[in-house]
Structure 1
Amino acid sequence: MSKRTACALYFAVLALPALAQTGAPPSSAEPGQEAHPAAAAAAPELAEAPTQIVVSGRRPGPGVWKVSKGEHVMWVFGIYSPLPAKMEWDASRVERLVAGSQEVLTPPGANGHVGFFRGITLLPSLVGLKKNPDGAQLRDVVPADVYARWTGLKEKYLGDDDGVERYRPIFAGQELRQAGMKKNGLATSVQVVKAIEDIARKNKVKVSKTGFEFDVEEPRKMIQEFKKQQMDDVACFTKTLDSIDGDLDAMRARANAWANGNIAEIRSVNFTEREDACNNAILNSSVARNNAQFQDMPGRLRAAWLQSAEKSLAGNASTFAILQMKDILGERGYLADLAAKGYTVESPR
C-alpha cells in the first residue's frame, strides 16, 4: 500500500484515469500534419472488419497533436490500452520533441491521501474489499443469462480459479479482462508512459503531474461502508463481458491502429462505452455519493489538466503532454476546450 493511496479509493483506480534527443524546440507542425478543429474529432462507427493479427516488432505509434498560441507550442501524444504486447515502440520522434521541450505533462489523475502510518493501520480492514457483501457469489448478484456467459469465458481465460466467484462484478470483470488481453497478445500502455518519462529524465526535462490531490476523511468508515453495500456494477460487468466475448478482434484492430499510427482508424474507436459503465458504478456508489471529495471527479480532472496545460503553454516555448486517446478524440475531448479558448489545434493525418 503506497502512502499516496487512499484505502477507500482502492476500488476506484480501476475506473478513474490516473490511471508514461537533440534539436531545438520545433517551430512548425510535424511533417504530415494539417490543421484540424479539435471539436471535429467525434468518432464514426468502425467501418472495416478488424484484423485478426496483432502486430509485433518496431512500430512508430501515432503522430502528435500540436496546440499553439503565438510562439508557444504544446505537443500532445495520445496513449491507448490495450497495445500489442510484443510491439517495440519506435520513440525517436517523441524523443526529439521531448528533448526540445521544457516540460512533460503526465496524464491527469486523482490521488487520495490517508497518510503513511495511518494507512498501515488500515491494512487489515482491506481484507475482503473485493468480495461481495454477506458472502454472496457472482451467480447471486448478476442475471442468469449474464452469469452463463461469464461461466464460459471464465473457463476459457481463468480456468479453475473459483476464488473470483466471490468477487464483486466489477472486480471479477477486471480479472477476466486482464486474462483475456494477456492470452490474446495485448498489454497496457504503462510501458509507453514510462518510456516517455525516462526520455524526459535523460534529457533533464521537467516532468509534471496533472490532476489533483485530496485528503481522505474517515477512511476506515468509508471502507466499512463500502464492504457492507452492493454496488450497481452489473452494467460494468456486462460491458466487460461484451468487450471480451465480441470485441477482442476490435481490440486487436485498435491496438494495431495505434502501433501503426493509423489516425483514421483510431478516430473510429468508441473509447468510452465500457469505461463509462464502470466509472458510473464507482461514482454512483453510496460511498462516492456521500463524500464530497468524490464529487464530479471527471469534471475536476478535466479542469485540472486544462489549468496545467494553459500554465505550461504560457510559460514554456515547448511542452510535451501525454493524454489518453479518449481525452483527445472523444466527443468532449480536452483539446476542444483549448480550441474554444483561441488556441490553434492541429491534428496528425
Structure 2
Amino acid sequence: MASVKSTLTAIVFFALSAVAHAQTVEPGLAPEDPGSAVVEELLVVARAPGPAVWLVQKGEARLYVVGSAVPLPHQLAWKSPRLERALDQADLLLIPPRASVGPGQIAGFVLKGGAGLRQGLGERLEDGLPPDLKARFISGRTRAKKGAGEYKGWQPAIAGFLLLSDFRQAAGLSEAKPVSTIERMARARKVRIKAMGQYRMSAVVSAAGKLSRDAQLACLRDALDELEYDGGRPTTIGFDWARGDLASVRARYSASAAQRCLLRSPGGGKLLEQQIGQSAGALSSALSRPGVTVAVVDLAVLLPANGVLDQLKATGATVTSPPD
C-alpha cells in the first residue's frame, strides 16, 4: 500500500505541478511567447544578489514573490538579502499547491487496477517499446541505478515520469527545493506557512488514464528528453537561478514534459488553467489584507504573458522589483 501511495503522489506531482515545474531546453528551442510585460520591464534593471524577487503592492498590503525553478542541485548554496528581509517582516508564507492522497483514493486506485495507468496482465513495459525508446529508457534507468522491474507494470507515460524523478534523486537534483529551503527559513522566524491550494487526485488520474498509446509514447519521449538534458547540465539553471539571472533562466525555461503530457489528455488543458488561476487567486487574497506576505511561485507560472504577475497587475496591484 505504501508503494501505491508513493506512486500516486508522483503522478500528481508530475501531472498537476506541470504548471509549476518547467523543463530546461536548449536556447532557441522554447515555444514563442510574447512574455509578461512586467517581466520584460524588470529584465533591464540591475540584479540584486540572490534569486529574482518581485514586490506586489495593493493598498496597505505588500506581497514579495520569489520566482522558483526546478530541479536545483541539492548542494546549491545561495543567499538572498531581499528574501531574508521580507521574511523578517512577514507573517505568512504561501507555497505552491499540494496534493492530497487519502485512503479512499488509494483503495479506489488499487480496485480499478491502476485506473488505466498500468500495463495489461502479463505485459512488460520495455517489451512493448519501439527500439529507439527502449534503448533510451534502459540508458536512463541505468543512470538512475534502477532495474527493469521498477517500471515494468506501468504505462509508458507514468514510467517515464517515475524514472525522471528517480534519476534526479540519483544525480543529486532536488524537486523540492527551493520551496523546502524557504519553508525552513520561515519556520525559523515563526512565520505561518500555507499552501495556495490543493490538487484533486481523481481528476489527475482520470486525465492520465485517458492517454492514447501514441500519447503515452510521446509523454515518455518528453520525460526522457528532460532526463537527458538534466543529466548533461545538472547545475546550469540552478546557478543562473541563484544569482538572479532571469534572462538566462528564461532562455531555457519552457513547458515541462509533464505539462505537455497532460495537455495531450482530454480535459488536461482545463486542469492546468485551473491551477494557474488557483495560485493567482491565493495571491490576490493575500493582497486584500494589510501586512506582509511572502510567496514562492515557479517562474513557469510567472514568466508567460497572462501569468500570475500579469494577472495581479490587472487587478490594480503595482508590481516592481524591490529596492536593495
User: For the structure 1 residues 302 and 123, does the alpha-carbon distance in structure 2 shift closer, same or farther, using more than 3 Å as the test?
Assistant: closer
Change (3 A) 1:119 1:172: closer
Specify the alignment match of 2:95 in structure 1.
Answer: 106
Question: How far off is 1:226 after superposition?
Answer: 4.7
Q: 1:272 to 1:295 in 2, by over 3 A?
A: closer
Measured against aligned partners, the alpha-carbon deviations of 1:46-100 in whole angstroms (never above 9, x if no partner) come to xxxxxxxxxxxxxx64031111234432110012111112123435542321120
1:269 aligns with 2:252: yes
CA distance in 2, matches of 1:66, 1:17: 24
Change (3 A) 1:316 1:279: farther
- Give how far 1:313 is off: 0.9
**Cα distance in structure 1, aligned partners of 2:276 and 2:211:** 32
Asked whether 1:209 is paired with 2:209, we answer: no
Aligned-pair CA distance for 1:212: 4.5
Q: Could you tell me whether the CA contact under 8 Å between 1:271 and 1:330 is conserved in 2?
A: no
Which of 295, 301, 311 aligns to 2:285? It is: 311
Deviations 1:289-317 (A, max 9, x none): 5xxxx882222222222222122112023
2:73/2:234 contact within 8 Å kept: no
For the residues of structure 2 that align with 1:258 and 1:196, how far apart are their CA atoms? 14
How far off its partner does 1:328 sit? 1.1
Identity of aligned residues (%): 25
Give the counterpart letter for 1:252 in structure 2. Answer: T
Q: For the residues of structure 1 that align with 2:226 and 2:101, how far apart are their CA atoms?
A: 33
Query: What code does the residue aligned with 1:346 have?
Result: T
Question: What is aligned with 1:343?
Answer: 317
Deviation at 1:166, TM superposition (A): 3.2
Gaps spanning 5+ residues in structure 2: where? 21-35, 44-48
Q: Secondary structure at the match of 1:66?
A: strand
Aligned equivalent of 1:198: 184
Distance 2:289 2:54 in 1: 19
Please tell me whether Structure 1 or Structure 2 has the larger radius of gyration of its CA atoms: 1
Aligned to 2:53: 64
What is the aligned-residue RMSD (CA, Å)?
A: 4.0
Letter in 2 for 1:101: A
Task: State TM-score, norm by structure 1.
Answer: 0.69
CA distance in 2, matches of 1:246, 1:315: 42
Structure 1 pair 108–316 and aligned structure 2 pair: CA distance change class (3 A): farther
1:91-240 alignment, distance < 5 Å: 92-109=81-98, 111=99, 116=103, 118=104, 122=108, 125=111, 131-158=118-145, 160-188=147-175, 190-212=176-198, 226=209, 232-240=215-223
Asked if structure 2 preserves the Cα contact closer than 8 Å seen for 1:211 and 1:305, the reply is yes
Once the two structures are superposed, what CA deviation does each residue of 1:190-248 show, in whole Å capped at 9, x if it has no partner?
Answer: 2432332233333333322212466959xxxx88x959996832211101111223453
**What one-letter code is carried by the residue in structure 2 that aligns with 1:166?**
G
CA contact (8 A) 2:16 2:199 kept: no
Give 1:302's match in structure 2, choosing from 273, 276, 291.
Answer: 276
What's the CA shift string for 1:299-338, capped at 9, x where partnerless?
Answer: 2222222222122112023211110111111344211111
Q: Which residue of 2 aligns with 1:323?
A: 297
What is the TM-score with the length of structure 2 in the denominator? 0.74
The verdict on how the C-alpha distance between 1:73 and 1:112 changes in structure 2, with shifts beyond 3 A counting, is same
Distance 1:14 1:214, change over 3 A: closer
Distance 1:10 1:172, change over 3 A: closer
Sort the Cα spacing of 1:146 and 1:197 in 2 relative to 1 into closer, same or farther, 3 A.
same
1:108-166 per-position Cα deviation (integer Å, ceiling 9, x unaligned): 34x4575x5x4575585387676313333234544332223223333343354434233
Structure 1 distance, partners of 2:238, 2:59, is 35
**Mapping 1:253-268, distance limit 5 Å:** 253-268=236-251
Unaligned runs of 5+ in 1: 20-35, 44-59
Matched position secondary structure for 1:321: strand
The equivalent position to 1:243 in structure 2, one of 202, 213, 226, is: 226
Q: Do the aligned partners of 2:123 and 2:153 also contact (CA within 8 Å) in 1?
A: yes
Counterpart CA distance in 2 for 1:278 and 1:297 is 12
Are 1:76 and 1:320, in contact at CA under 8 Å, matched by a contact in 2?
yes
| Aligned-residue offset at 1:339 | 1.9
